Amino acid sequence: MPVIKILPHPEYCPEGDRIEAPRGTSICEALLENGIAIEHACEMSCACTTCHVIVREGLASLNEQEEEEEDMLDRAWGLEPQSRLSCQAILADTDVTIEIPKYSINHAKENH
């Protein structure tokens, strides 16, 4: 079973963590199922960027991005070449290391 290593994030995972998740699970689902309350304002429908993560290791093992995800990521805060929407990033057999960006674009949270 692949392991997701989560780098420390002051709000979601202050100490960092390591979780196991079955192959075929999205990173977002795995985080939520393990008590890491990453934002997912669109309920994992690829319609926002609140679940944006940066895959520091293991990016090539994830499923390929579809055009819809690429278009949505263009709006993400702190976009990097290794950025993925965690709701669209599906685990294979390889461990991954992720970083949850410090900020997200979430209009509801910002009271817009």
With contact defined as beta carbons under 8 Å apart, do 37 and 18 qualify? no
Q: In what order do the strands lie in the sheet with 83-85?
A: 17-20, 3-6, 96-99, 52-57, 83-85
pLDDT 10s digits, 35-88:
999 999 999 999 999 999 999 999 999 999 999 999 999 999 899 999 999 999
Question: How far apart (Å, rounded) are the C-alpha atoms in residues 66 and 112?
Answer: 29
With contact defined as beta carbons under 8 Å apart, do 53 and 98 qualify? yes
Q: What is the reported pTM?
A: 0.92
Measuring CA to CA, which residue among 54, 76, 70 is closest to residue 5? 54
